[in-house]
Amino acid sequence: MAADTAPALAEPHARFAAASRWGAVEVVFWLATLLPFFVAQDYLVLASQIAITALFAVSLDLILGYAGVVSLGHAAFFGLGAYAAGIVSKAGWGEPLLGLLLGGAVAGIVGYGASFIIARFRHLALIMITLGMGELLAQAANSASWLTGGNDGLQGVKTMPLFGVLDFDLYGYTAYGYALAVLFLGFLVARRITNAPFGLALRGIRENFVRMAAIGAPTLPHIRKAYTIAAIIAGVAGAVLTETTETVSLETLGFQRSADVLVMLILGGVGRLYGGIVGAIIYMIARDQFSDVNPQYWYFWIGLLLIAVVMFLPNGILGGLERILPSRRSGG
Amino acid sequence: MWPVIGVLFDGFAYGMLLFLLSVGLTVTLGMMNFVNLAHCSFAMLGGYVTVTLMNRFGWPFFATLPASFLAAAAASVLFERVLYRHLYQRSDLDQCLLTIGIVFVSVAAAAYLFGTVQQPVHLPDYLHGALAVGGQSFAVYRMVLIGIALLLTGALVAGLELTRFGAMVRAAVDNQRVARGLGINVGRVFALTFALGSGLAGLGGSLAIDIVGLDHAFAFNYLIYVLIVVSVGGLGSIGGSFAAATLLGISDMAGKYYFPQFGAFLIYLVMIVLLMWRPAGIFGKR
């Protein structure tokens, strides 16, 4: 961080332009996401789940990694998007893109409302408030079983073919392509935001809330805006999950999902967008492998991994890699 | 028969249980700002010590309570020395993640050692049954629980207010740096307080078995309740924890009794409203 502020003083626009230039590693990474179509066709369903979870993790990174808002209830927005898409599809409008927009819109509206509460708190109170609001929503969804199906989950969701031609097949070709495309678009949005002056302001708020307010940055509106955007992206991710699996369960907005996504993000590395994606890939593949062996003890290994990451890799796996490999930015 | 009194009594007993489980966390959080989410893992350890000693070695119930206190306290000191002390200067988030990792490990270890079933515990006969007073029946065990909790609260408050060690703890909670400057070994005071608090949690875990049961997910399920008590009561405030635990215990019982269809809805609503009114907790200073 220290190295790339020096040219910024000379020419602010050059700094933003340099930050938003695509690196070779990034291009290779996104090309590699196409590999499952050719080499791992049996795992396309898992791959689409990973893409969805990665988008969810990116949305959490926007508020946690950039604005410094710790949330233990982020699954609320994922679940809102999932249920919105599921309910509209059950009512007969299973058009995937419509469900996507609706999921994002519902989560965004609720997120905007919630952001007025969230922005006022910091530290432990913030963690407890986000946790409490997530649990309230989960309880509400459980009691409103006429709408959500309660504990049994929402049945009867039917997704129409994408663009009217691409059917969602059993092997997950369409599902993975669709989820990957949405992930990429969501990532582009997040990347654009974090490389803009707004993203820099968010980082400033994360580093020193009081000083940012003192230099005239509208800190509370900034946090509200970031929170709403993150809610929209999480809602879109939830809608994609509904459309590709054609079912919604209460688990989509439970505490477990909020905790899991936080773990993935920390594992990958906070505040670097790719951290969420890498964390989701590792976590989901590891869970898939371990739960084949011994489903009950999966959390033992995740717990050990968490302890090890916090003790030895404070900036996650990507942060550790950056320390080992000479990075392009600090070199130039 | 007045159901209101029954609900209040059960809620108060439940609140006392929550208080025992959370009082250690509130003091250590207030003193070191260390977010120890694994607090309930120590409580769970206490519960399993009681179950093992009673069922496998035939100890009487009350004899197992000091053992579970000591076991939880000893385990917490070990963790504090090996892992926690490296993280005092790090962010809340890192501390949360390390300790939630410990929760995951402890839950899986408990499932491995004891299975995922509810642990049976056979209390002595004189703890069963109920006492009838004016047409109301009060369960004996809950009265014992309330008695123990009130005694411990009295001892804690007196110890904190009247002893030299208590004065050192209060100084460290109020201002760690000044306390250090006055020659108080804050690290050692903290380690002792931490052990005491975890021991109380272990005791709470043992006493909780008959009321809420004990299984491998205990460390996870009660974590949320304990955090609610701590954040609503205010960090570092024993009186605040007592008030918050009572309030939440009663509102949880009332919610389950009068509005069973909403489940745990009420307890979260109460927490959010209280935190919005006072973000630092009812008795919180910061």
Contacts of A125 in chain B (CB under 8 A): 231, 275, 279-281
Residue A135 in contact with partner chain B when CB distance is under 8 A: yes
- Residue the block writes with tokens 């509208």: A218
Is there a contact between B235 and A302 if contact means CB atoms under 8 Å apart? no
Q: Is position B243 within any domain? A: yes
pLDDT at A229: 94
Stretch B207-231: mean pLDDT: 84
d(CA A238, CA A233): 9
CA A132 to chain centre: 20
Which of B94, B106, B272 is the best residue to mutate to test the A interface, defined by the most A CB atoms within 10 Å of its own CB? B272
d(CA B148, CA B62): 12
d(CA B188, CA B180): 11
**Per-chain mean pLDDT for chain B:** 84
Walk along chain A (332 residues) in steps of 10 and give the mean pLDDT of each run.
50 76 83 80 85 94 88 91 89 83 93 87 79 84 79 76 71 84 93 88 86 87 92 94 86 85 87 89 85 71 84 79 63 34
Is there a contact between A136 and B268 if contact means CB atoms under 8 Å apart? yes
> Which member of A131, A142, A143 has the closest CB to residue B224?
A131
pLDDT at B271: 81
d(CA B229, CA B235): 10
Residue B259 in contact with partner chain A when CB distance is under 8 A: no
Q: Looking at chain B, which runs of residues are DSSP E strands? A: 130-133, 136-139
- Residue the block writes with tokens 């209040």: B8
Residue B265 in contact with partner chain A when CB distance is under 8 A: yes
The structure's pTM equals 0.81
From A299's Cα to the closest Cα of chain B, the distance in A is: 5
- Please write the tens of the pLDDT for every residue from B62-101: 888 899 999 999 999 999 888 888 888 787 778 888 888 8
Residue A310 in contact with partner chain B when CB distance is under 8 A: yes
Is there a contact between B263 and A140 if contact means CB atoms under 8 Å apart? no
Contacts of B248 in chain A (CB under 8 A): none
Residue closest to A312 by CA, chosen among A267, A264, A263, A278: A267
d(CA B111, CA B41): 13
Is there a contact between A124 and B228 if contact means CB atoms under 8 Å apart? no
Is there a contact between B108 and A303 if contact means CB atoms under 8 Å apart? yes
Residue B115 in contact with partner chain A when CB distance is under 8 A: no
> Which sequence spans correspond to the domains of chain A?
40-254
Q: Which residues contact B229 (CB under 8 A, 6 or more apart)?
A: B18, B19, B21, B22, B26, B241, B244, B245, B248
SS (H, E, C) A132-189: HHHHHHHHHHHHCHHHHCHHHCECCCCCCCECCCECCCCCCHHHHHHHHHHHHHHHHH
Least confident piece of the model among A34-48, A231-245, B148-162, B192-206: A34-48
Contacts of B252 in chain A (CB under 8 A): none
Q: Is position B285 within any domain? A: no
Is there a contact between B111 and A296 if contact means CB atoms under 8 Å apart? yes
From B279's Cα to the closest Cα of chain A, the distance in A is: 6
Q: What is the CA radius of gyration of chain A?
A: 20
- Please write the tens of the pLDDT for every residue from A74-120: 999 999 999 999 888 888 777 888 889 999 999 999 999 988 888 88
Is there a contact between A298 and B108 if contact means CB atoms under 8 Å apart? yes
pLDDT at A327: 52
CB pairs < 8 Å spanning A and B: 119
**A64 with A270: CB under 8 angstroms?**
yes
CATH number at residue B166: 1.10.3470
Residue A246 in contact with partner chain B when CB distance is under 8 A: no
From B239's Cα to the closest Cα of chain A, the distance in A is: 19
Residue B143 in contact with partner chain A when CB distance is under 8 A: no
Q: Is position B134 within any domain? A: yes
d(CA A221, CA B263): 35
Q: Is position B248 within any domain? A: yes
Residue B62 in contact with partner chain A when CB distance is under 8 A: no
Neighbours of A144 (CB within 10 A): 12
d(CA B180, CA B185): 6
Residue closest to A315 by CA, chosen among A323, A303, A326: A323
Contacts of A300 in chain B (CB under 8 A): 104-105, 108-109, 112
Is there a contact between A132 and B262 if contact means CB atoms under 8 Å apart? no
Nearest CA in chain B to A295: B108
Residue B211 in contact with partner chain A when CB distance is under 8 A: no
Q: Which two tokens stand for residue B243?
A: 């008030």
**A111 with A232: CB under 8 angstroms?**
yes
Kindly list the distances between the CA atom of residue A285 and the CA atoms of A234, A252, B35, in Å, as whole numbers in the listed order. 21, 19, 30
Residue B109 in contact with partner chain A when CB distance is under 8 A: yes
> Which member of B101, B265, B280 has the closest CB to residue A307?
B101
Question: Can you list the pairs that B114-120 forms with residues at least 24 positions away whose Cβ atoms lie under 8 Å?
Answer: B114/B48, B114/B51, B114/B216, B115/B216, B116/A296, B116/B215, B116/B216, B116/B217, B117/B215, B118/B213, B118/B214, B118/B215, B119/B47, B119/B48, B119/B51, B119/B209, B119/B213, B119/B214, B119/B215, B120/B51, B120/B55
From A7's Cα to the closest Cα of chain B, the distance in A is: 30
Which of B22, B231, B248 is the best residue to mutate to test the A interface, defined by the most A CB atoms within 10 Å of its own CB? B231
Q: For chain B, what is the domain count? A: 1
Instruction: Label the pairing between strands B136-139 and B130-133.
Output: antiparallel
> Which member of B108, B265, B271 has the closest CB to residue A128?
B271
Q: What is the CA radius of gyration of chain B?
A: 19
Q: Is position B62 within any domain? A: yes
Is there a contact between A135 and B279 if contact means CB atoms under 8 Å apart? no
pLDDT at A104: 93
> Which member of B83, B86, B279 has the closest CB to residue A125?
B279
d(CA A178, CA A172): 10
Of residues A236 and B2, the one with the higher pLDDT is A236
Q: Is position B123 within any domain? A: yes
Contacts of B106 in chain A (CB under 8 A): 303
For residue B136, the enclosing domain spans: 3-277
Q: Which two tokens stand for residue A41?
A: 């066709």
Q: Looking at B96-196, which runs of residues are DSSP E strands? A: 130-133, 136-139
d(CA B45, CA B199): 10
Q: Which two tokens stand for residue B212?
A: 């809420």
Q: Which two tokens stand for residue A2?
A: 């220290």
pLDDT at A22: 83
Residue B207 in contact with partner chain A when CB distance is under 8 A: no
Is there a contact between B35 and A124 if contact means CB atoms under 8 Å apart? yes
d(CA B100, CA A194): 29
Q: Is position B86 within any domain? A: yes
Residue A139 sits at the vertex; the CA angle it makes with A134 and A145, to the nearest 5 degrees, is: 130
Q: Is position B282 within any domain? A: no
Coil, helix or strand at residue A67: coil
Kindly list the distances between the CA atom of residue A48 and the CA atoms of A53, A171, A282, in Å, as whole numbers in the listed order. 9, 11, 14
pLDDT at A10: 58
**B17 with B222: CB under 8 angstroms?**
no
Residue B32 in contact with partner chain A when CB distance is under 8 A: no
